[in-house]
């Protein structure tokens, strides 16, 4: 069958994504959700300048986002409503240029220099690494934790159901963020106790979240870096969506510290999105994004097995989940 070539001009356009992200960041979709409003009023409510905002909105009207029922009056349509900030699992928080990921996307201007081998993109765009940026900016850090929380709501129940947790009495979620996964597993398995390990900001939020979820009696939060030996011992250590953020050397160090933190017959459970033929668009996009944001990489099972082996771990089992993620069960070689 002849392959239809993609519309390169449409794919390479930068005006549309920037216009959409500007409108989403200013919350224009929220403001016009209930019906058309004069531009001056929209600009006032969005704390924006009316003239440039009107030009952005008119541009978007001609691309199918928003309506302009009369001159300088803008209203909603299905596309703009999809950008409202209260849409469950909606795109707004990911596109928000003041949020951690929307801002990180701006580092794509440095992609060419990273590919030329001149410098990594994010520090060139923002003057320090992604993680340093989060550490210095509570608003960015909170927005990142809340994006990870949203992502985890879909993933955590799959993980809690797919693995035999009855084999353990104490588990640790290393780089566990706000604790969505740990709370889900502890909620589903009342015999279990858990430790969440993360940096100061996420650890602080996790203590509150685990309390809200009613599992605080069986959960401990430990503030530590996974680049240092972990000050914990557990039957199993989970590393979910963490290794992709790091190059092979750093990922091996993290796994090595997890291996040392589990019992000799314990397990390290690596949970990552793996490539499969039906999801290569998503997988390669994630690979590019984490290369730009943090210098990390997505890995297939072979490459994950190699870094696990370098960290003293043998892959014992592999459980694919419905959404393309997999639980890769490793045992320490000692």
Ligand X SMILES: C[S@@+](CC[C@H](N)C(=O)[O-])C[C@H]1O[C@@H](n2cnc3c(N)ncnc32)[C@H](O)[C@@H]1O
Other CB atoms closer than 10 Å to residue 11's CB: what's the count?
Answer: 7
Min dist CB 142 to ligand X, Å, is: 12
Question: What is the closest distance, in whole angstroms, from the C-beta atom of residue 147 to ligand X in the complex?
Answer: 9
CB of 30 to ligand X, least distance (A): 26
DSSP for 196-226, please give it. EEE-HHHHHHHHHHHHHTT-GGGEEEEE--T
Q: Could you tell me the smallest distance in angstroms from the CB atom of residue 174 to ligand X?
A: 7
* Residue 324, Ramachandran bin (φ over 0: left; ψ between -120 and 50: alpha; else beta): left
User: CB count, 10 Å around CB of 138?
Assistant: 10
Q: Directed axis angle between helix 200-212 and helix 180-188, to 10°?
A: 30
Residue with smaller CB distance to ligand X, 32 or 242:
242
The residue (of 151 and 218) whose beta carbon lies closer to ligand X is: 151
Nearer to ligand X, 31 or 269 (CB): 269
Q: 3-class SS at 331?
A: strand
- CB-nearer residue toward ligand X: 181 or 219: 181
Residue 254 half-sphere exposure toward CB, CA atoms < 13 A:
27
- Give the shortest CB-180-to-ligand X separation in angstroms: 6
Kindly state the tokens that stand for 306. 């190699």
Closest distance to ligand X from the beta carbon of 316 (Å): 21
Residue 42 beta carbon to ligand X: minimum distance, rounded to whole angstroms? 35
Please report where in the chains the tokens 């750093």 appear, as a residue: 250
Q: What token pair was written down for 156?
A: 């955590």
- Distance (Å, whole) CA 327 – CA 329: 6
Nearer to ligand X, 110 or 198 (CB): 198
Query: Could you tell me the smallest distance in angstroms from the CB atom of residue 52 to ligand X?
Result: 35
Q: Which is nearer to ligand X, 54 or 176 (CB)?
A: 176
Here the tokens at position 88 are 């469950």
Measure the CA–CA gap between 200 and 285, rounded to whole angstroms.
29
Q: Which residues contact 157 (CB under 8 A, 6 or more apart)?
A: 184
d(CA 243, CA 314): 16
28 or 147: whose CB is closer to ligand X? 147
Q: Which residues make up the interface to ligand X (CB under 6 A)?
A: 131, 148, 151-152, 175-177, 181, 198-199, 202, 225-227, 240-242, 245
Nearer to ligand X, 76 or 177 (CB): 177
């Amino acid at each position: 069958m002849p392959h239809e070539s993609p519309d390169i001009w449409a794919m390479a356009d930068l005006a549309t994504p920037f216009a959409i992200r500007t409108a989403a960041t200013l919350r224009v979709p929220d403001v016009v959700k209930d019906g058309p409003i004069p531009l001056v009023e929209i600009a006032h409510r969005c704390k924006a300048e009316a003239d440039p905002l009107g030009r952005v909105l008119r541009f978007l009207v001609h691309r199918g986002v928003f309506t302009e029922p009369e001159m300088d009056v803008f209203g909603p349509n299905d596309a703009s409503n999809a950008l409202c900030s209260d849409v469950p699992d909606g795109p707004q928080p990911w596109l928000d240029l003041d949020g951690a990921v929307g801002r990180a996307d701006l580092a794509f201007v440095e992609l060419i220099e990273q590919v030329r081998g001149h410098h990594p993109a994010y520090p060139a765009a923002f003057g320090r690494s992604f993680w340093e940026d989060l550490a210095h900016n509570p608003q960015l850090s909170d927005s990142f934790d809340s994006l990870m929380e949203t992502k985890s709501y879909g993933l955590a129940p799959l993980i809690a159901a797919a693995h035999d947790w009855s084999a353990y009495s104490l588990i640790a979620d290393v780089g566990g963020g706000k604790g969505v996964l740990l709370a889900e597993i502890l909620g589903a398995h009342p015999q279990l106790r858990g430790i969440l390990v993360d940096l100061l900001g996420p650890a602080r939020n996790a203590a509150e979240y685990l309390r809200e979820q009613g599992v605080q009696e069986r959960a401990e939060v430990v503030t530590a870096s996974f680049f240092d030996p972990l000050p914990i011992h557990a039957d199993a250590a989970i590393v979910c969506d963490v290794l992709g953020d790091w190059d092979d050397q750093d990922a091996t160090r993290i796994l090595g510290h997890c291996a040392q933190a589990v019992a000799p017959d314990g397990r390290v459970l690596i949970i990552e999105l793996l490539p499969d033929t039906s999801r290569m668009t998503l997988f390669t996009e994630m690979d590019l994004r984490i290369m730009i944001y943090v210098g990390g990489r997505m890995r297939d099972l072979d490459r994950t097995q190699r870094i696990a082996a370098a960290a003293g771990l043998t892959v014992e089992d592999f459980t694919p989940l419905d959404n393309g993620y997999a639980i890769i069960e490793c045992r320490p070689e000692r």
